[in-house]
Amino acid sequence: MKTITNLRKETFNSVKVDPFWNTGNEPELEIHKIHAYPARFPAFITTKALQFAREQGLHPEWIADIFCGCGTVAFEAKRNNINFWGCDINPVATMIAKTKSRKYDTKHLKKYFSDILISYIKKQDEHGFYENANERLKYWYEKEEYEDLYNLKMSIYETIPNNSPYRWFFLCAFSNILKSTSRWLTKSIKPQVDPNKIPKEVFSSFINQCDFMFDANNEVNFESNPETRIFTKNIITSYVNPGFTDLIITSPPYVTSYEYADLHQLSSLWLGFVDDFRDLRKGSIGSTYHKAIETELSSLNKVGTQVVKKLSLLDKSKSKAVARYYLDMQKVVEKCHAALSESGMALFVIADTEYKGVEIENTRHLAEALMRYFRRVLVTKRKISNKILPPHRDEIGRFTSDKSIPKTYGEEFILVGSK
């Protein structure tokens, strides 16, 4: 890793890919694949971060992830017998994270599964729910699939007690079949109807998903049971105990990249997290659903100000969204510094993006924010190993080889701030 002593572009352009951060030493467990999640954090990064921290003399008792997403860091922390604290503003993400970060008793799973199927079969003559459905769900589902899903959801609710962690397991399985049983365009990172798609059958999809999750759960072997705390909340607006964690491992959303509220709208609506999925955009870092920021612009650091000025010449709305993202990330860094113990470390995995030819320098901006609070900031680079697909995405989010479309990022930076 390279110590950052200045913020010139050349400093970051000269950073070479470090193979240490590219791949893991063992196959990733199936538990990390129980639910689709955009830009999912590679599991081995946590192991590598732990190894790096220990080489620096840090032996963490607590690990935190302040953008915990679907719980990859949470699971790997528990597997390494380390306490974990995590939060995410997205309730779908924290549902998956809570499901992944525990070992379930196979006998209980099988019994609940059998009871759910029996309940579902008994409900086959129950209809008439589609007419009163959320209008957004009607947009995505035909009547048959909607009513099958409704009966399946009610079977889960009626079979498993509300306070049981086993309910989350089966709701996670339910959530992961929602796109395949809808008219959502397969493998699209944007909400897009496929008029030619034949939705998958609900009953068989659920059975297949549960079978996969049973096998994944059987792979899990926690040697002990450290504390795992996962919350649905915004790190910026939430209170955190000073010095409560030793190591932060996280990957913030990349500005102009994904709109997570849109991507998870089916699960959010079906599971009752919101009545209008757009409500989940509020407060999200990197979302274009931002509040007024004019009075805060003076707080932007130097790199952030330069990028926002360039963008404002092309697209004032986008420049405001980027400014909101940068201002929020500066607050995130301040929060992380306060949350860390005296000799703690914060490790960020982040990439640069672009918009209409303007480079969105997320890495350099974050480095400047870190340098304000941390005594030492290190940088290295990793290659995103699964980038075997064409490096472009079309207007509906599918991969393409069309070189006229801006590239998606194929490399990521790793920034480490040490107190």
Residues 356 and 391 in one domain: yes
Q: Would residue 286 count as lying in a domain?
A: no
Residues 173 and 112 in one domain: yes
Q: Would residue 19 count as lying in a domain?
A: yes
Residues 247 and 370 in one domain: yes
What's the CATH number where 388 sits?
A: 3.40.50.150
* Bridge partners of residue 379, in order along the sequence: 2, 415
Domains contained in the chain, number: 2
The H or E element spanning position 150 is helix 143-159
> With bands split at pLDDT 50, 70 and 90, how would you rate the model's confidence at 214?
very high
Q: Is 63 exposed, middle or buried (0-12, 13-18, 19+ CB in 10 A)?
A: buried
* Bridge partners of residue 229, in order along the sequence: 85
Residues 85 and 120 in one domain: no
Q: What is the pLDDT of residue 23?
A: 87
Q: What is the pLDDT of residue 393?
A: 46
Residues 249 and 372 in one domain: yes
Q: Would residue 357 count as lying in a domain?
A: yes
Q: Is the pLDDT of residue 184 over 90?
A: yes
Q: What is the pLDDT of residue 392?
A: 43
Query: Percent of the chain at pLDDT above 90?
Result: 77
The H or E element spanning position 2 is strand 2-3
Q: What is the pLDDT of residue 289?
A: 61
Cβ atoms of 167 and 158 closer than 8 Å: no
Q: Parallel, antiparallel, or unpaired: how do β-strands 62-65 and 83-88 relate?
A: parallel
Last residue of one domain, picked from the residues 188, 219, 250: 219
Residues 255 and 164 in one domain: no
Q: What is the DSSP letter of 58?
A: -
Condensed to tens digits (0 to 9), the pLDDT of residues 16-53 reads 999 999 988 888 999 999 999 988 889 999 999 999 99
Condensed to tens digits (0 to 9), the pLDDT of residues 108-141 reads 999 999 999 999 999 998 999 999 999 999 999 9
Q: How far apart are CA 160 and CA 299, in angstroms?
A: 49
Residues 84 and 119 in one domain: no
Q: Would residue 272 count as lying in a domain?
A: no
Q: Would residue 287 count as lying in a domain?
A: no
Q: How far apart are CA 271 and CA 252, in angstroms?
A: 25
Q: What is the pLDDT of residue 93?
A: 95
Last residue of one domain, picked from the residues 165, 200, 219: 219
Last residue of one domain, picked from the residues 219, 252, 283: 219
Residues 376 and 232 in one domain: yes
* Lookup result for tokens 């309910």: 167
* Across 143-172, average pLDDT: 97
* Lookup result for tokens 């079969």: 121
Task: Produce one character per residue of 157-173: b if its CB has 16 or more CB atoms within 10 Å, e if not.
Answer: eebbeeeeebbbbbbbb
Window from 15-29, 83-97, 401-415 with minimum mean pLDDT:
401-415
Q: Would residue 56 count as lying in a domain?
A: yes
Residues 151 and 206 in one domain: yes
Q: How far apart are CA 137 and CA 266, in angstroms?
A: 7
Type of residue at 283: G
Residues 115 and 208 in one domain: yes
Residues 386 and 245 in one domain: yes
Q: Parallel, antiparallel, or unpaired: how do β-strands 411-418 and 358-360 relate?
A: unpaired
Reported for 298-301, long-range contacts at CB under 8 A and 24+ positions apart, including other chains, are 299/327, 299/330, 300/326, 300/327, 300/330, 301/326, 301/330, 301/365, 301/368, 301/369, 301/372
**Which residue range is the domain that position 348 belongs to?**
2-90+228-261+301-418
Condensed to tens digits (0 to 9), the pLDDT of residues 335-383 reads 999 999 999 999 999 999 888 889 999 999 999 999 999 999 999 999 9
Q: What is the pLDDT of residue 165?
A: 95
DSSP secondary structure string for all residues of 379-414? EEEEE-TTTTS-SEE-TTS-EE--TTSPBPP-EEEE
